[in-house]
Amino acid sequence: AGALRAFDAVVERRPELAEGWNKRATVFFYLRNYEASIGDIKRTLALEPRHFGALSGLGLATTALGDDKAALKAFEGALEVNPHMPHARQRVKELRTKIKGKRI
């Protein structure tokens, strides 16, 4: 709760700072408020499109909501910006296998 209040204040005072939005998105994620997390991630990416941490976070949040296609796109985007993310690489591999096996 304290972290959420702190980052609420950051984004209110300095809405142009991508990292404030990203950190609040992380707090929302840990609170399992995935929709709010995704909203803040989108704001982060609007301010800093190459924020690979936000892209990875988007992959985690959309996975938590069961949106495998959006998660795959997010993790692939993170790897385009930073190819040195073994966790994202593993998630891409897993999601591609999972999506390939689903019926259309």
43: pLDDT strictly greater than 70: yes
**Can you give the pLDDT at residue 104?**
52
| Residue 55: pLDDT band with limits 50, 70, 90 | very high
The predicted model gives 45-58 an average pLDDT of 98
| Residue 101: pLDDT band with limits 50, 70, 90 | confident
**Can you give the pLDDT at residue 70?**
98
Q: How far is CA 99 from CA 9, 18, 45, 51, 78, in A?
A: 40, 31, 25, 25, 19
Query: What's the whole-number average pLDDT of the chain?
Result: 96
How much is the pTM?
0.92
Decide if 60 contacts 38 (C-beta within 8 A): no
